[in-house]
Amino acid sequence: MSGKCRLCGDLEDRHEAVQTRRQWEPDTFLPKAVEKLETVKRGLRLRGPRSSDLRRCPECLTFYLYSIDWEQAADGMSYDQQVLRRLTDEEGQRYLRS
């Protein structure tokens, strides 16, 4: 495929978003284009994040790793983090087979 993908072409190689629910720390969010990616494998077993899914652009077939991690403090405050990372085709195929 030549040119820039209309669905995921504006995504960087890595995006990170954090929601803390604290007034002094503004929440950040992943780009809207992430919602258009298809989940092709859920519940990958990785060290670190609590939940990781393999996602793929339905138009250009680029693979992405979407990870979520969270913490709940005793005072009721929470910390939620989402990370999206573009994968090479080889990395994506390896996650598909795992």
Burial 27-60 (b: 16+ CB within 10 A, else e): eeeeeebbeebeebbeebeeeebeebbbbbbeee
Q: Mind listing the pLDDT tens digit of every residue in the chain (98 residues)?
A: 446 899 999 999 999 999 887 667 789 999 999 999 999 999 887 766 578 999 999 999 999 999 998 877 766 677 789 999 999 999 999 999 98
Task: Quote the CA–CA distance of 12 and 9 in Å, as a whole number.
Answer: 8
The neighbour count for residue 88, using CB atoms within 10 Å, is 10
User: Which amino acid appears at position 22 of this protein?
Assistant: R
Task: Quote the CA–CA distance of 65 and 83 in Å, as a whole number.
Answer: 8
pTM of the model: 0.85
**H or E element at residue 91:** helix 89-97
pLDDT of residue 71: 78
pLDDT of residue 70: 81
